[in-house]
């Protein structure tokens, strides 16, 4: 499976390192695409080392990267998905490489979303509406966050789902998409 892992700027960005490692060990090809903000949380070198490939980001952007990445990927996973990038995705805003690539993905390609945020943010009606809207579109698989003690000290939903679960969902969606293509 060719997995495009999109990492946005949340405290759970470090867990995307584990997801990268698990995916590579499972024999998948992984390319990591980071938002500008994500790089404040985890250095691109960690992802480059774990995936074995340079990281894509606004700083390294080449002409048509968004189209080429969208064509290359068989599955895209956004983990962690911030409230900010969720809002952009729901509104069709494409102001960086990550959001533009997500918009350029062909409709048949599965996109798995792993939202992670503070509980108040997670329960905010705008976030609820944005996720509901994406779910209605039928193109996105949302892996719900877990309830736990969050980094901000709150206890409640908002923690990123476990990397192993996110990978399992990506693999399942990939198998389903491949079977559909072959059928």
Tokens 């024999």, located at residue: 27
Which stretch, 24-32, 33-41, 61-69, 166-174, contacts ligand FMN (CB under 6 A)?
A: 33-41
Candidates 2, 53, 84, 172: give the one binding ligand FMN (CB under 6 A): 84
Residue 36 CB, nearest approach to ligand FMN (Å) = 6
Classify 93 as helix, strand or coil: coil
Query: Token digits for 105?
Result: 């993905």
What's the rounded Cα separation, in Å, for the pair 58 and 41?
Answer: 16
Binding to ligand FMN by residue 42, rule CB under 6 A? no
8 A C-beta contact, residue 4 and residue 112: no
Binding to ligand FMN by residue 2, rule CB under 6 A? no
Binding to ligand FMN by residue 10, rule CB under 6 A? yes
Candidates 38, 78, 131, 161: give the one binding ligand FMN (CB under 6 A): 38
Binding to ligand FMN by residue 8, rule CB under 6 A? yes
The answer to whether residue 152 is catalytic is yes
> For 144, which DSSP code?
P
Q: Compute the CA torsion angle 167, 173, 175, 180 (nearest 10 deg).
A: -170
- Residue 9 or 74: the one with the smaller Cβ distance to ligand FMN is 9
Binding to ligand FMN by residue 130, rule CB under 6 A? no
DSSP for 50-86, please give it: HHTSPPB-GGG--TTHHHHHHHH-SEEEEEEEPHHHH
Which stretch, 62-70, 80-88, 141-149, 175-183, contacts ligand FMN (CB under 6 A)?
A: 80-88
**Cα–chain-centroid distance for residue 41?**
15
Catalytic positions: 152
Residues at the interface with ligand FMN (CB under 6 A): 8-12, 35, 37-38, 82-85, 116-117, 121
């Amino acid at each position: 499976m060719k997995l495009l892992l999109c990492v946005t700027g949340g405290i759970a960005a470090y867990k995307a390192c584990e997801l990268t490692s698990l995916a590579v060990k499972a024999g998948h090809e992984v390319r990591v695409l980071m938002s500008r903000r994500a790089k404040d949380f985890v250095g691109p070198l960690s992802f480059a080392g774990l995936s074995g490939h340079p990281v894509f980001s606004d700083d390294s952007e080449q002409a048509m990267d968004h189209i080429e990445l969208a064509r290359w990927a068989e599955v895209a996973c956004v983990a962690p998905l911030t409230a900010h990038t969720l809002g952009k995705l729901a509104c069709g805003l494409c102001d960086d490489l990550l959001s533009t690539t997500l918009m350029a993905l062909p409709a048949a390609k599965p996109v798995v979303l792993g939202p992670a945020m503070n509980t108040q943010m997670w329960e905010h009606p705008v976030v609820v509406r944005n996720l509901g809207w994406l779910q209605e579109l039928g193109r996105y698989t949302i892996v719900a966050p877990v309830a736990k003690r969050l980094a901000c000290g709150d206890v409640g939903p908002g923690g990123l789902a476990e990397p192993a679960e996110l990978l399992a969902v990506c693999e399942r969606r990939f198998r389903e998409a491949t079977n559909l293509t072959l059928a």
